[in-house]
Amino acid sequence: MQSPIKVLIVDDSALVRKVMAEILSSDKDIEVIGQARDPIYALDKIKQQKPDVITLDIEMPRMDGVTFLKKLMAENPIPVVICSSLAEQGAKTTLEAMKNGAVEIITKPKLGVKGFLQESVNEVTSAVKAAAGARVRKRKAVSLDLQPKNTADVILSKTITAMTETTEKVIAIGASTGGTQALRNVLSKMPVVSPGIVIVQHMPEKFTTAFAGHLNDISALDVSEAKKGDRVIPGKVLIAPGGKHMLLKRSGAMYHVDVIEGPPVSRHRPSVDVLFRSVARYAGNNAVGCLMTGMGDDGAQGLLEMKQAGAITYAQDEQSSVVFGMPQEAWKRGAARELVALDKIPEVLINACAGKLSKIG
């Protein structure tokens, strides 16, 4: 029998610590081994108790969460889940934390903290389990025991008919745990002449605006959070907004996106499966897809549907993935023609759009 995931909760709010402990302790695969009201206390507890995962507030007294994270990753790397405010400044600070090694985000609202967390049991426990499988500790991902999940059928029915080939290509990318840094690496290397790119990164509502802005700063491409009706054109990258699904649509020879409400699919909103299914339907063999690092299987079925519709499909390899869950599931299903290292993904995507499909060594 596998040992439970040992979690240390770091937050200056006694209420948040109490409710987080109750939620995490309700899962048989998780054990809360300690709590700390600020990073200084946390450092002492880490030495004594050796947690597998830390949940971390980023706005705390004595030492802010980002400074603590930098120190932790330099001296004693442990997977960290950020518990952050929805405020714009909080979102920017959270992205800084993700750049410095945090692997997951859960949201903390301004009001009604206890009620929010009680309604988010799956989000909180899933984030901790995903973090436990992250490569900062090189341990295997913990299996999830959650309620049955929706498929993309609840948003968009499956079709076997895709539109005919055109000269315009579309690149579709999906990612989850570890994806913020992976996407940063990919987009920073994509040329300005790249085909239009649509991306789903599992991320809570409000954080995707700041994330898109950050990617826009480090990329030659024009990156923005998607809005209903935005066109998918060369040199443009659209990031699905947190809390909503993004679908590719086509009018004549022109592509655009739709942004809609709807139930979670594969336990996520936005869902990679939803995006990939829409790409299979409306772009078909005009598309190139890539499923990157992340826990679970969101995107695996969608990538297979893209491949069946004539798209060229890839998945990130195990060595370069923070968590190999999503790419591995795609590979098992035969959805990807090849597993590709992170630093090779930009080249592979551009070559695939140009019809160059030589094997990557």
Q: Is residue 146 part of a domain?
A: no
Instruction: For residue 75, tell me if it sits in a domain.
Output: yes
Catalytic residue among 38, 202, 219, 320: 202
Residue 118 has pLDDT above 70, yes or no: no
On whether both 187 and 271 belong to a single domain, the answer is yes
CA distances, 312 to each of 91, 103, 230, 330, 352 (Å)? 34, 29, 24, 13, 7
The residue out of 102, 132, 162 marking a domain boundary is 132
Identify whether residues 33 and 88 lie together within a single domain.
yes
CATH number of the domain enclosing 54: 3.40.50.2300
Cβ atoms within 10 Å of 144's Cβ, excluding its own: 17
Does residue 58 contact residue 64 with C-beta atoms inside 8 Å? Answer: yes
The verdict on whether 188 is a catalytic residue reads no
Alpha helices in 32-144 (DSSP H): 39-49, 65-75, 88-99, 113-118, 121-132
pLDDT in tens, 155-210: 676 665 555 555 689 999 999 999 999 999 999 999 999 999 999 999 988 889 99
Report the mean per-residue pLDDT for the chain. Answer: 86
Active site residue 64: no
The one catalytic residue among 84, 120, 126, 176 = 176
pLDDT of res. 361? 45
Residue range(s) defining the domain that contains residue 304: 152-353
Residue partners of 180: CB distance under 8 A and separation at least 6: 95, 98, 99, 201, 203, 211
CATH code, domain carrying 181: 3.40.50.180
Look at residues 321, 354, 315 and name the one whose alpha carbon lies nearest to residue 191. Answer: 354
Q: Is the separation of the CB atoms in 247 and 274 below 8 Å?
A: yes
pLDDT in tens, 31-58: 999 999 988 888 888 988 889 999 998 8
Least confident of 42-51, 82-91, 314-323: 82-91
The answer on pLDDT for 354 being more than 70 is: yes
- My answer on whether 209 and 282 are in the same domain is yes
Amino acid identity of 85? S
Check whether residue 177 and residue 319 sit in a common domain: yes
**DSSP string across 162-231:** -PPP-S--EEEEEE-TTHHHHHHHHHTTS-TTPPEEEEEE---TTHHHHHHHHHHHH-SSEEEE--TT-E
Has residue 358 got a pLDDT over 60? no
23 within 8 A of 117, measured Cβ to Cβ: yes
Between 116 and 334, where is the model more confident? 334
**Do 194 and 278 fall into the same domain?**
yes
The reported pLDDT for the residue numbered 117 is 60
Give the model confidence (pLDDT) of 215-244 as tens digits: 999 999 999 999 999 999 999 999 999 999
pTM of the full structure: 0.79
126: tokens are 């899933």
Q: Could you give the number of structural domains in the chain? A: 2
Specify whether 268 is catalytic.
no
- Cross-strand pairs, 245: 260
Other Cβ atoms less than 10 A from the Cβ of 241: the count is 22
Q: Looking at residue 139, what is its pLDDT?
A: 31
| Selection from 200, 357, 186, 355 nearest residue 277 by Cα | 200
Mean pLDDT, range 300-327, rounded to an integer: 96
Task: Kindly indicate the confidence band of residue 149, based on its pLDDT and cuts at 50, 70 and 90.
Answer: low
| pLDDT band of 146, cuts 50, 70, 90 | very low
What is residue 115's predicted lDDT score, i.e. its pLDDT? 63
